[in-house]
């Protein structure tokens, strides 16, 4: 196509999205800051737990009134009154604080004070009981308040210590004055100290454990946020053209589906506009790839600014081709936006002295198609119509616009002609295969070939795969073509051991079709070819939905020994899910990542993708190796296999039969390209 994706600024900006660390991770907080953050984040929980905690504590405190009646009945009326007074007062103060929104630390103080006054309020009337022996033993219950301060509430450690220490002091004071033997005082004193030390230690450990849980949760939160940001960056990257910063073809195809669904559901009409830079190959050849990139960026920026007026979407659809989608109802509106697109680029006045058509600046040809009731139910139709209009605009002299008219004889739908051609392609020998070698990087030997489908018209004119493959999938002709391709590779190269492995691309339609795996097994049996010598390639894409039939079919194919590959990995986000669901033998990394290695960030992106695949245990094949510099990169990254013009161009089967190649082990994949 004569274009180069090497613009460093755009590539760097996109790579930054993935490699830039979140700002929070660049600063290492100190321990005291972490402690402060821990208590700040814990305030909400302590505040929420305070109300039920104090209510439960007061309820239990009041229930112990029964023991007062049992053990110290002569002063029970006073102790019970004290219990109710302290309990009710504490609850009223707490509710008032919660209503007024006072600080959490004051709520903690209220709960701690409730424990202290609850103990003192009960103990003061209890010690005046005439039954001193019961009182001396009943005082043991004071340790319950100590445990409440250390274990029941989640106070700060210093507040728990102060509260339990106050209770300990009160216990010792009362223990000193209550009549009892010295042995009793010593034993009970040791018990109080032991309880204080034990509960304080447990409280300290619990606080440390809560803090460690907080640190782990904080680390997990940061890691999750970073992973989410990187995942979103990868998703954005997979939907963004690395040169122009516009949406790429994958993203614009998603938007096209949304526009189409709205039109089918509610009749919201829209226009699809294809834009092609005129004589761009000549521009690229004369001014160089860097200027070619600059030209595309300037055109993209100008069109993006202009399209905002129409609330439309613009994306890069190919080398020098752009696409615009906008909601419109009338042909007059379409004519206006198409002319605005043409004039916007012309007004940039970018020099182009190699046109030889009387114009010396960069211009574009514009083809548009508007939805209409007779367009049919397939969304590809509107793109075909826009493409046909673009062809007529270019045929009309370029630097002009053309709106598809179904009543114009020149606007006949080319896809219908291709659909008719596909019906007779196999019978008339109009379809053929060529094979591109795949090389083992370590050994330097070719270990497999990839089958590529070719189609010609009755007059011998070639039809690009980008045209006939979508039509074949839409019409179902891909089923017959797929079976023919598998049978042909078996007969031409595999049956007589001319090559070790041939890979063939399969469509989601084939994988969804019942009996596909059985038909492949039949072909292998009839040709006498082992399944391990055939590789079927699945292209990563949105259309490869998580269909149970597809997964079942893949499982059946693997039982035959057939190798399953994932193609074009990295061009979409869906591939991560497929790596999780399917044990691929080999993953092919899309050529765009290798070609973007001219910048440090582009190289880092390729390294990240290779690391991701390698961690899953898959073999790695990099596509599009065309230069010695790219070969050096794949050696540096220890890639397993490569494919591209540096290894060999697609050639007929006879080229491989004439000079057989020795293979170490099966490799794989077949694709129409």
Query: How many angstroms separate the CA atoms of 345 and 295, rounded?
Result: 10
Catalytic-role residue among 24, 105, 320, 543: 320
Tell me the backbone φ, ψ of residue 119, rounded to 5 degrees: -75, -50
320 flagged as catalytic? yes
Instruction: Report DSSP state, residue 623.
Output: -
Beta strands in 553-671 (DSSP E): 563-569, 586-589, 619-622, 641-643
Is 619 in contact with 586 (CB distance < 8 Å)? yes
CA distances from 40 to 105, 106, 109, 156, 214 (A): 11, 14, 16, 12, 11
Alpha carbon of residue 147 to chain centroid: 49
Query: How many angstroms separate the CA atoms of 3 and 623, rounded?
Result: 18
Is 452 in contact with 433 (CB distance < 8 Å)? yes
8-19 helix and 600-615 helix, angle to the nearest 10 degrees: 40
Look-up of token digits 């033998």: 585
Residue 143 exposed, middle or buried by CB count within 10 Å (0-12, 13-18, 19+): buried
Query: How many angstroms separate the CA atoms of 506 and 671, rounded?
Result: 7
The sign of the dihedral angle between the CA atoms of 371, 375, 376, 379 is negative
Query: How many angstroms separate the CA atoms of 596 and 605, rounded?
Result: 9
Look-up of token digits 């397993």: 640
The CA dihedral of 248, 251, 252, 257, to the nearest 10 degrees, is 160
Is 671 in contact with 537 (CB distance < 8 Å)? yes
Look-up of token digits 């510099």: 629
Instruction: Report DSSP state, residue 22.
Output: P
Is 228 in contact with 178 (CB distance < 8 Å)? no
Tell me which residues are annotated as active site. 320
């Amino acid at each position: 196509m004569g274009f180069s994706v090497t613009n460093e600024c755009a590539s760097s900006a996109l790579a930054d999205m993935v490699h830039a660390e979140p700002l929070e991770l660049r600063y290492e907080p100190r321990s005291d800051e972490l402690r402060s953050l821990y208590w700040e984040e814990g305030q909400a929980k302590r505040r929420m737990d305070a109300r039920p905690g104090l209510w439960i504590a007061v309820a239990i405190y009041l229930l112990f009134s029964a023991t007062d009646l049992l053990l110290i009945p002569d002063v029970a009326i006073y102790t019970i009154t004290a219990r109710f007074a302290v309990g009710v007062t504490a609850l009223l103060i707490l509710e008032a604080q919660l209503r007024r929104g006072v600080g959490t630390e004051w709520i903690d103080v209220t709960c701690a004070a409730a424990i202290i006054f609850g103990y003192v309020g009960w103990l003061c009337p209890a010690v005046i009981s005439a039954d001193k022996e019961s009182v001396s033993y009943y005082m043991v219950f004071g340790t319950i308040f100590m445990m409440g301060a250390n274990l029941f509430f989640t106070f700060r450690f210093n507040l728990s210590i102060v509260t339990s220490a106050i209770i300990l002091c009160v216990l010792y004071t009362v223990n000193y004055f209550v009549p009892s033997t010295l042995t009793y005082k010593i034993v009970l004193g040791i018990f109080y100290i032991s309880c204080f030390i034990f509960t304080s230690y447990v409280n300290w450990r619990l606080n440390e454990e809560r803090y460690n849980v907080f640190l782990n949760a904080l680390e997990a939160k940061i890691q999750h946020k970073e992973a989410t940001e990187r995942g979103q960056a990868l998703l954005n990257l997979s939907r963004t053209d690395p040169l122009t910063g516009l949406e790429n073809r994958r993203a614009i195809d998603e938007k096209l589906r949304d526009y189409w669904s709205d039109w089918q559901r509610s009749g919201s009409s829209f226009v699809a506009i294809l834009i092609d830079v005129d004589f761009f190959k000549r521009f690229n050849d004369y001014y160089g790839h860097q200027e070619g990139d600059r030209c595309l960026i300037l055109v993209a920026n100008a069109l993006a600014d202009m399209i905002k007026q129409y609330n439309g979407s613009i994306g890069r659809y190919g080398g020098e081709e752009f696409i615009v989608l906008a909601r419109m109802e009338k042909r007059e509106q379409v004519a206006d936006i198409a002319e605005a697109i043409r004039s916007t680029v012309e007004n940039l006045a970018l020099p182009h002295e190699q046109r030889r058509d009387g114009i010396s600046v960069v211009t574009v040809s514009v083809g548009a198609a508007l939805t209409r009731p007779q367009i049919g139910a397939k969304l590809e139709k509107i793109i075909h119509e826009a493409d046909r209009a673009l062809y007529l605009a270019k045929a009309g002299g370029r630097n002009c616009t053309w709106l598809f008219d179904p009543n114009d004889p020149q606007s006949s739908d080319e896809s219908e002609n291709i659909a008719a051609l596909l019906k007779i392609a196999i019978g008339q020998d109009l379809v053929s295969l060529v094979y591109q070698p795949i090389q083992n990087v370590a050994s330097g030997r070719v270990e497999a070939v990839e089958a590529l489908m070719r189609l010609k018209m009755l007059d011998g004119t070639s039809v690009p795969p980008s045209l006939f493959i979508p039509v074949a999938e839409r019409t179902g002709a891909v089923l017959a073509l797929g079976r023919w391709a598998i049978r042909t590779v078996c007969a031409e190269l595999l049956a007589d051991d001319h090559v070790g492995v041939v890979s063939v691309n399969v469509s989601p339609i084939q994988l969804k079709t019942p009996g596909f795996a059985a038909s492949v097994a039949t072909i292998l049996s009839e040709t006498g070819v082992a399944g391990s010598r055939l590789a079927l390639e699945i292209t990563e894409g949105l259309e490869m939905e998580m269909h149970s039939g597809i997964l079942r079919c893949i499982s059946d194919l693997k039982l035959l020994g057939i190798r399953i590959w994932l193609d074009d990995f990295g061009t979409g986000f869906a591939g991560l899910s497929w790596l999780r669901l399917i044990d691929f033998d080999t993953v092919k990394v899309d050529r765009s990542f290798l070609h973007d290695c001219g910048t440090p960030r582009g190289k880092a992106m390729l390294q990240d993708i290779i690391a991701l695949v390698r961690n899953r245990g898959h073999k790695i094949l990099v596509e599009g190796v065309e230069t010695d510099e790219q070969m050096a990169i794949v050696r540096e990254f220890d890639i397993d296999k490569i494919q591209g013009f540096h290894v060999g161009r697609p050639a007929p089967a006879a080229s491989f039969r004439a000079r057989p190649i020795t293979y170490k082990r099966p490799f794989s994949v077949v694709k129409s390209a």
